[in-house]
Amino acid sequence: MTTTNDLDQRIEAIETGYEFMLAYAAQGRETDKGAAAGRNVREYLDKMVTALDGLAPAIAARARALDPKLLKSSVAFFAAVEADALIALGAIRLVLAREDISSQLIDNLNASIHLRALLTDLFVVDEALKAPKKRA
């Protein structure tokens, strides 16, 4: 991931993975085995793991590039985002360790307050750390 787009790509992978998991949870599957490429929940979970691993430094880099004072003034929020990301990462890795991933297991993961908090955190981060638009 490039420095400029690193955070955007990470957020996109996490949001896309969550949206796929919502659909997967509704399918009533007992196992993820036999799913076609691009339709396998493990692929999305793997992309989420990649996006979550190193998320906090990517957020810090974006904040620093936008305004170095943001890191100090928002330290508590950024720490909460990092904690939510680490807990969500652990939960996703737990699910990936299972031989079979059922719709019920994904539904429970979707309901995790940590994953939901992370998504909400990322909505704030994405909006708050956008570069200001230049006026014509």
Q: What is the pLDDT of residues 29-48, one digit of tens each?
A: 999 887 765 579 999 999 99
Closest CA to 87 of 60, 121, 63: 121
Q: Average pLDDT for residues 90-103, to the nearest whole number? A: 96
Average pLDDT, the chain: 91
Look up residue 99 and give its amino acid.
Answer: E
3-state SS track over 91-133? HHHHHHCCCCCCHHHHHHHHHCHHHHHHHHHHHHHHHHCCCCC
The pLDDT value recorded for residue 49 is 98
Cα separation of 49 and 134, whole Å? 35
- Domains detected in the chain: 6-128 (1.20.120)
Three-state secondary-structure class, residue 89: helix
- What does 17-37 look like in DSSP terms, one character per residue? HHHHHHHHHTTT-S--TTPPT
The pLDDT value recorded for residue 1 is 43
The pLDDT value recorded for residue 79 is 96
